[in-house]
A and B are shown apart, each in its own frame.
Chain A
Amino acid sequence: MAEQAQENSSLSAVVADVAAGVALALDGGRDSSALSGVLAQDDPLALAAIRVLGADVLAPYALRAGGGPGTTTDTGTDMDSGMAHRRTARASGVGAGPAARGARADGEVVRKALAAYPPGADASEVSLWSYRGLVEASRAYLPAGQGGPESPAGAGDRAAGPAAVAGWLQADPWPQLAHRASQLAALSLPGLAPALATGLAARTEDLSRGFVRAVRRRDWLQAAGIGRWLARVPDVPDTLGLDTGLVYVLRMSGGDARVALHTAIARRFHGRGAR
């Protein structure tokens, strides 16, 4: 059913390709991130796909960077990112050589995606958040000089501060909250949106309900997105069966690449899912 919403556009297909590439890179199947190596830099579809996936396209760099900066202020991730760091210590050090060239090229692709698809005047809040997440991720995860594109026209800075967070994060009834959280799942990467993470960590029970509802509805993408936020928090209810649930969602989605990316991130960053 999740497929219905996305239709089977060529953009959806490219989004799936990019998601699959990133998941592969996360699992160590490729040396560098999947972006520049496999995508034509000026392909508008490829750039659009990067914009759709947001910060997740840089998840392999976050893993190598040991979970990214800002983790000390980032509720619930300290232990997890530390774990990821130990696991990937060998792979860090993106200073020179082919890895550095890859990072440089990927930073360039991301910069182009941001420039090509800035949030318009009537962009949704999700779009703004996601844009800002990608800006933040390239600053945080890519080695200095490769990332940190200035956000064109500063569009991403609109409505993205903690004050803007407060409203829906506290007031939304749990079904809407969970749906929105899943749309913003890429921001669950370490250090990207501390206020958002803290706010959602305070609503673990509501996200758990949302996970149950999403699985019941067979909305695997939503379930996986909510599952990622839940994977971060230490107090997720045992009765939810999150580990089994993430595996279940992945299998039942029938190979949905975006679902697979979500579950791969939950596994690699937080050790949740397949054990």
Chain B
Amino acid sequence: MASDLSAPVETAALAAEVEGLLDSAEPEGIYRDTRECGAGLLLLGALLISPPTPRPPKTDAR
């Protein structure tokens, strides 16, 4: 694997990586739910205080 010459450098870099893995920050959780929000709203229809459904466009002028 590592040659004698490169070992200290590599070990120092690895030590930092070890630290990073041990005290890792929480991963972002932003990808969940994007799909679940969009689907199935029609089922809920006109239930009061349920998530808004797109209202039909208004056709007459005011």
Q: How many residues of B contact A (CB 8 A)?
A: 21
B2 CB contacts on chain A under 8 angstroms: 43-44
Q: Mark B23-62, 1 if CB is under 8 A from A, else 0.
A: 1111111011000000000000000000000000000000
CB–CB A9/B17 < 8 A: yes
> Closest CB-CB distance, B33 to chain A, in whole Å?
9
- List the count of A-B residue pairs having beta carbons below 8 Å apart: 78
Q: From B10, B17, B18, B22, give the contact of A183 (CB < 8 A).
A: B22
User: Which of B10, B15, B32 has the most C-beta atoms of chain A within 10 angstroms of its own C-beta?
Assistant: B15
Size category of the binding interface on chain A: 20 to 34
Q: A4-B28, A48-B17, A219-B29 are in contact. Are A126 and B1 (CB under 8 A)?
A: no
A1:B1 contact, CB within 8 angstroms: no
A180 nearest in chain B by CB position: B23
Residues of A within 8 Å of B31, CB to CB, are 1, 218
B residues less than 8 Å from A40 (CB atoms): 1
Docked-complex contact A217 and B21, CB < 8 angstroms: no
Question: Whose C-beta in chain A lies nearest to the C-beta of B25?
Answer: A5
In the assembled complex, the Cα of A41 lies from the Cα of B29 at a distance in Å of: 38
**Assuming the A-B contacts A6-B24, A9-B17, A116-B11, are A43 and B29 also in contact, with contact meaning beta carbons closer than 8 angstroms in the complex?**
no
Q: How far is the CB of A135 from chain B (nearest CB, A)?
A: 15
Q: A44-B1, A116-B11 are in contact. Are A124 and B27 (CB under 8 A)?
A: no
Chain B hits for A43, CB < 8 A: 1-2
* A91 interface residue (CB < 8 Å to B): no
Q: Interface residues of A: mostly helix, strand, loop or mixed?
A: helix
Question: Which residue of A has the minimal Cβ distance to B6?
Answer: A44
Task: Point out the residues of chain A lying under 8 angstroms from B11, CB to CB.
Answer: 44, 116-117
Decide: B21 and A44 in contact? CB cutoff 8 A: no
Chain B residues near A117: list those with CB within 8 A.
11, 14-15, 18
Asked if A1 meets B23 with Cβ closer than 8 Å, knowing A43-B1, A45-B1, A117-B18, the reply is no
10 residue pairs bridging A and B, Cβ less than 8 Å apart: A1-B31, A2-B27, A5-B27, A11-B21, A44-B10, A44-B11, A116-B11, A123-B19, A126-B22, A219-B26
Could you list which residues of chain A lie within 8 angstroms of chain B, going by C-beta atoms? 1-2, 4-6, 9, 11-12, 15, 40, 42-45, 48, 51-52, 54, 116-117, 120, 123-127, 130, 179, 183, 216-219, 222
